[in-house]
Amino acid sequence: MRTRAILGSILASTSVLIVGYQAGVSVTTSDGTSVSLPVDAATNGTAGNTNAGNGSSTPGTGTAAAAPAASGPADGTFTGSSVSTRFGNVQVAVTIASGSITDVTALQLTDDDGRSVQISNRAAPILRTEVLSSQSAQVSNVSGATYTTDAYLSSLQSALDQAGA
C-alpha cells in the first residue's frame, strides 16, 4: 500500500509539471519554487534509457495529447522541484518529444530514513539485440543453471578455467 501511496505522490508531482507544461511558461511546485521550462533543455539523464525499446512505455497520455504542441516548449527533459510529501521527497522529470510526454522519471525519492527508493524495478521485455553482444574472451566466469561435474567438462566455464590456469 505504501508503494501505491508513493506512486500517488509522484503522480501529484507530475501533474504539477504537466499543468505547468500546458501553461507553457513555468512550473510552480507546491513548495513555492518555480522551474522555468527552458528551450533546448534536453538532457541525457535516465529518461529513455530505462525503457528504451521495450515496447511497454505508453508515450502520449491523454493529458499530453491535449497540450498545445505548436505553442508548447521545445523537446527536452524538464525537471520539477523536489516536493516534500509525507512519504518522502519526490522530484520528477518529464521528457517531451514532438509535443507529447514520452517519459516521466523519478529523480529523487527518499523514504523516511532518507534512503533512496526505487519507483519500479520491474523486469520489462527486452530484445536480444538490446543486449550487447558478449564474447567469452571478455569474462572469466559464467553464471548459468548448475551443471553436474560431468557436464562441466563440456561447459564454457571449463574452457575459461583452462584458459585462465
The closest of 37, 27, 36, 3 to 109, measured between CA atoms, is: 3
In one-letter notation, the amino acid at residue 100 is: S
Asked whether position 44 contacts other proteins by CB under 8 A, the answer is no
Note whether 165 binds other proteins by CB under 8 A.
yes
Report the residue from 35, 42, 97, 126 that binds other proteins according to the rule CB under 8 A.
Answer: 126
Instruction: With H, G, I as helix, E, B as strand and everything else as coil, classify residue 97.
Output: strand
34 by DSSP, 3-state: which? strand
Nearer to other proteins, 25 or 152 (CB): 152
Structure letter (DSSP) for residue 139: -
> At its nearest, how many Å lie between other proteins and the CB of residue 101?
19
Is residue 1 close enough to count as binding other proteins by CB under 8 A? no
Q: How far apart are CA 86 and CA 90, in angstroms?
A: 10
Task: Count the site residues for other proteins by CB under 8 A.
Answer: 44
Provide the residue count of the chain: 165
First to last CA, the chain: 52
Q: Which of 26, 34, 36, 140 is in the footprint of other proteins by CB under 8 A?
A: 140
Q: Does 114 bind other proteins (CB under 8 A)?
A: no
For binding to other proteins (CB under 8 A), which residues are involved?
A: 3, 49-52, 118, 120-128, 130-132, 134-136, 138-149, 151-152, 154-158, 160-161, 164-165
